[in-house]
Amino acid sequence: MEVYPGIHHIQRVSNSYLVVDEDIMLIDTGMPGNSSKIIDYVQNTLKRDPNDIKTIVLTHHHFDHVGSVEKLKNITGASVAAHKLDANYINGTKSRPGPLLLRTATNIMKMVSRTKPIQPDILLKDGNIIKRYHVIHTPGHTPGSICLYNPENRVIFVGDNLRQSKGGMIKGPVPKYTPDMDLAKNSIKKLGDLDIDVILTGHNSPITSDASSKLKEYLKTI
Ligand SMILES: [Zn+2]
Ligand SMILES: [Zn+2]
């Protein structure tokens, strides 16, 4: 569904977003097996060609966000962009810790075998701008976690750096999946200076109302 003019949200285990313009930027790909859902949305809801996806940006290397990247890159021919500090996890040089640890060994093998590592085409760093979105390096949840912020529409994609609690308030990343919580909190403090209307999270519902005041409330607690 369209969550903001020109930005579409596809929700499964994790969220993928399509920034639709003359071409399309995909933010996060979801779990393995998610590619058909995204391609179907592009073709049938947006009435666009999958090849219009020119860029796939990964907010971080976790499996539930990069699981369909290889498939989607093959289908669309898009360039894949990720922060340089997560690139070695995405290309398979370093093994991926995180949510996988909670699964059974069988599931791990099954899932891993369905995710082929790929080499990101574009290595991002703090301050880069990709389709009017500014890359903000927010390490802690992973070394190369990023947010993408557009000062023109005041929309920010936060990956797993922030999430919405059941009561509608903002919380930080899930501690058990976040190896360096202190670093993550310091990273989130960087967002306090931004003028933000909409926070598009990596899981559950995005925050489309009072985002700025909710973020300020959360920042008071860390
Ligand atoms: Zn994550
Ligand atoms: Zn996640």
What are the tens digits of pLDDT across the range 130-169? Answer: 999 999 999 999 999 999 999 999 999 999 999 998 888 9
- Residue 80 makes CB contacts below 8 A (sequence gap 6+) with 55, 56, 57, 58, 69, 73, 90, 118, 120, 121, 122
Which parts of the chain sit beneath pLDDT 50? Answer: 98, 106
Q: Which ligand is nearest to the CA of 142?
A: 1
Cβ burial of 134 (10 Å; 0-12, 13-18, 19+) is middle
CATH classification at residue 7: 3.60.15.10
What DSSP designation does 100 have?
G
Phi, psi of 83 (to 5 degrees): -65, 145
Instruction: Output the CA 103–ligand 2 centroid distance in Å.
Output: 14
- The first and second tokens of residue 45, run together, are 């809801």
Domain limits at 7? 2-220
How far apart are the CA of 47 and the centre of ligand 1, in A?
31
What pLDDT, on the 0 to 100 scale, is given for residue 163?
96
Q: What is the pLDDT of residue 218?
A: 96
Q: Which are the contacts of 193, defined by CB distance < 8 A and separation ≥ 6?
A: none
Phi-psi region of 47 (alpha: psi -120 to 50; beta: other; left: phi over 0): left
Distance (angstroms) between ligand 1 centre and the Cα of 177 equals: 7
Number of domains in the chain: 1
Provide the residues around ligand 1 (an ion) whose CB is within 5 A.
62, 160
Kindly give the distance from the C-alpha atom of residue 160 to the centroid of ligand 1, in angstroms, as a whole number: 5
Q: How far apart are CA 201 and CA 15, in angstroms?
A: 7
pLDDT of residue 93: 87
Tell me the one-letter amino acid at 204. Answer: N
Cβ neighbours around 19 below 10 Å, total: 24
Please give the distance, rounded to the nearest whole angstrom, from the Cα atom of residue 132 to the centre of ligand 2.
24
Q: How far is the CA of 127 from the centre of ligand 2 (A)?
A: 23
